[in-house]
Copies of this chain bind each other. A is one copy, B any other.
Amino acid sequence: MLNRQRNISMLGDGFYSRVSLGPKAVIDHCEPLVLRALDQLTRHDRPLAVSDFGAADGGTSLNLMRSVVKRSKQNFPDRPVTVTYTDLPDADFTSLFRNVAEGTRTEDSYLKRYSDVFVYGSGTSFYQQIFPAESLDLAFSASAMHYLSAKPCTIVDHIHSVGAHRDEFREYQAQAIRDWTTILLNRSAELASGGMLVMANFCIDDHGQYLGNTGNENLFENYNLLWRDLNRDQVITDGEYRNTAFQQHYKTVDEFIEPLIDQANPVFQSGLRLVSAKSEIVKCPFRTAFKQGSLNPEQFATEFVNTHRSWTSTTFRAGLDETRSEEDKNAILDELYRRFHSLVLDNPVGHAKDLIHLYLVGRKV
């Protein structure tokens, strides 16, 4: 979700709101789970320690964190609260600290409303331990844990593991399972006894649905076809096509919950247990606006393509040969998204970026 405000400055406030709407809806969907987790905490002798892992600029979780602070202050008026937002060092911490202190266009600041609340940032990867052992009460994260710690192999005929050949797919799958174990072991170490974990992660649900694959069109298949066309049209080389792959993997529901229910798993043995897990869909706000007639086909195509340009372009850019100039790279990316725009405009029906997440709750015994 980094830098999602780039390239969209000319699309107006409605677009900005719709961009936030999906991720924010996912986070708001977590609220009952998070508040229930908060109520179930057993340790109250220290300040409440909450963390948002992979928080980007903190904007989409402001509403949730305000609810958390509010509930804590209702239950324990004198208990201080700390909220630590983590992401990679190149995240926009300046916007994060401003958003939390001042609020955003749509969300109020909880710092203004409640006293004795302290906010921090961490630039440490969630593949490492970010907090001292047993110091965290509530670990929250949304739409972050599909990013792998490393790319296990080339995907020869596709740009995402969802379309990889069997052997490649298995390497991505194995990497994702190892990574998920690492993530959970670190969170388990951080959580105090009785501490809770609530996460919404992109998943492959039991119907085989995943982000951008819920209807007639498949987002990653379309990107792959267009990227291959650019190769066929000699805009990019064979090597560039082959070297392009998202460093991410969508795990199944079973893969997500396995470490928390299998007694032989080191995560289970570390004390982290499954409380609940349920996959759900949050409908694409652009698709909804188009269906309702608030966007015409041209507007829909423009906004739809722009909303994923911000998080997909890094991957396509990284696939391009290092010797190309920045201008050259930009021109290729412009062409890719121009073609996607035409694809959508030619047949707008069926394009949607529905968000398929597993809503998972865990507890440290």
Binary contact track A114-133/B, C-beta < 8 Å → 1, others 0: 00101111111000011111
- Chain B residues contacting A131 (CB-CB under 8 Å) are 118
Restricting to A35-52, which residues have a CB under 8 Å from any CB of B?
A: 47
| Nearest-Cβ distance from residue A65 to partner chain B, whole angstroms | 15
| Nearest-Cβ distance from residue A355 to partner chain B, whole angstroms | 28
Whether the pair A91, B89 counts as a contact (CB closer than 8 A) is: no
Restricting to A80-136, which residues have a CB under 8 Å from any CB of B?
A: 80, 82, 84, 89-91, 93-94, 96-98, 100-101, 116, 118-124, 129-133, 135
Q: How many residues of A contact B (CB 8 A)?
A: 28
Closest to A48 in B: B132
Known contacts being A91-B94, A101-B89, is A121 close to B122, with CB within 8 Å? yes
Closest to A88 in B: B97
Whether the pair A116, B132 counts as a contact (CB closer than 8 A) is: yes
Whether the pair A97, B101 counts as a contact (CB closer than 8 A) is: no
- Chain B residues contacting A118 (CB-CB under 8 Å) are 122, 124, 129-132
Q: Which A residues contact B (CB, under 8 angstroms)?
A: 47, 80, 82, 84, 89-91, 93-94, 96-98, 100-101, 116, 118-124, 129-133, 135
Closest to A79 in B: B132
Whether the pair B116, A101 counts as a contact (CB closer than 8 A) is: no
Known contacts being A101-B89, A118-B130, is A123 close to B135, with CB within 8 Å? no
- Chain B residues contacting A100 (CB-CB under 8 Å) are 123
Beyond contacts A82-B132, A120-B120: 14 other A-B pairs, Cβ-Cβ < 8 A, are A89-B98, A91-B94, A93-B97, A93-B123, A94-B123, A96-B123, A97-B124, A100-B123, A101-B123, A116-B133, A119-B122, A119-B123, A120-B121, A121-B121
| Nearest-Cβ distance from residue A102 to partner chain B, whole angstroms | 9
Complex: A100 Cα to B128 Cα, angstroms: 15
The 8 nearest A-B residue pairs measured at CB: A97-B123, A93-B93, A89-B97, A80-B132, A120-B120, A121-B121, A47-B132, A89-B98
- Chain B residues contacting A121 (CB-CB under 8 Å) are 93, 120-123
Complex: A97 Cα to B80 Cα, angstroms: 26
Closest to A115 in B: B129
